[in-house]
A and B are shown apart, each in its own frame.
Chain A
Amino acid sequence: MTTTDAITDAMPSVARLRAREPAAFTWLVAHCERIVLGLAQALGLHGADLDDAAADVFLAVYRALPSFEARSAVTTWVYAIACRVLQRSAIKRRRTRGVSFDEARHAAAGALSADQCSIDRERDEAIWAAVAALEPRSAMAVELHYRRGLNIEEIAATLQCPGGTVKTLLFRARAVLRNRLAELEPSR
């Protein structure tokens, strides 16, 4: 039996999660993987980097599980760890390599299927690249708000900051994205 076979829809108890039972951890990964990968993708990661980032996040979660105190939902707790780990690695990556809008755009290119309208495709790739070029916390706030539909309080719990800070992050992100997309307009 593989670990994937052990996934059930029922959430495992906190005790089982804290004991790091394989089935409980597999359930946790299966339920949080999509959001965590989306956050990494929003920061401009792709391919092997995305894979490594996801592994780093869940390794940090695995290490921290015995200290999980169930003060919040386990998924929120995982997303908070994901944001911290991804933000740290994004800052490090930008410091060493730098992530430009063009690089992010190159990373975003080719993700859509060929049958999609080319104008939509170009516009979407420009938006994804613009989001990836944002400051990491802003990029994650945009991802959680616009793509995953989380409200301000939920994002604040995930990013572990006050709701006012989330509003500021989103406001600044919108201003940057508006300028960035307006710059692209005349080139069409």
Chain B
Amino acid sequence: MKLNDDNRLDTLLRSSLTARPEPQIGSDLAARVMAAARSEARAERNGVAQRRTRGERLTWVVALLATVANIIAGALHIVAIRAAAQVTDTAFTTSASSSADTGPLLLVGVVGLGLALIYVALQRSLSNDGDAFELVMN
């Protein structure tokens, strides 16, 4: 077989490759592929749901921790003002004790409102995109 001639090589390749038996595969390929795609989509949806549940749990944990920190800060504020009142004169004590009544309540209210706003914003972004928390955490 002289293969230096391109035409002869072309002819040989053509005749050999066209003589090759067509490959056969088992069952209905289209049905198998569609089933695989469906199960993949289902797995993907489950993954998103799991991420969303994890995000919601994190929201509650963050909100709870922030509330506890807020209460502790308020209590410390009251203790500090009462301690300060004990070492000052009566006139000042009167004004300080009045501030001791309203100050912590105002602080708790403002911080609580801020936390509520953050919580609502996080929940909204979570409902738009299940990955919001993952993004925040990353």
Contact = CB atoms under 8 A, between A and B. Distances in A.
Interface string B7-40: 0011011101111111101101111111011000
Interface in A37-56: 37-38, 40-41, 46, 50-51, 54-55
A111 B21 contact: yes
B20 A124 contact: yes
B92 to A, nearest CB: 74
A63 B37 contact: yes
A29 B25 CA distance: 13
Interface residues of B, number: 28
A50 B36 CA distance: 17
A182 B17 CA distance: 18
- Main SS class of interface, A: helix
B9 A178 contact: yes
B29 A58 contact: yes
B16 A55 contact: no
A62 B36 CA distance: 10
Contact of B10 (A3, A143, A146, A185): A146
B28 A147 contact: no
Contact of B22 (A37, A54, A181): A37
A123 B33 contact: no
Contacts of B13: 127, 142, 146, 174, 177
A142 B9 CA distance: 12
B132 to A, nearest CB: 25
A34 B18 CA distance: 13
Contacts of B36: 55, 59
A187 interface: no
Contacts of B10: 146, 174
Given A2-B28, A59-B36, A59-B37, A38 B23 contact: yes
Interface of B: 1, 3-4, 6, 9-10, 12-14, 16-23, 25-26, 28-34, 36-37
Given A26-B31, A30-B30, A41-B23, 16 more contacts: A3-B34, A4-B31, A22-B34, A37-B23, A38-B23, A50-B25, A58-B29, A59-B36, A127-B17, A128-B16, A143-B17, A146-B10, A147-B20, A174-B6, A177-B9, A178-B4
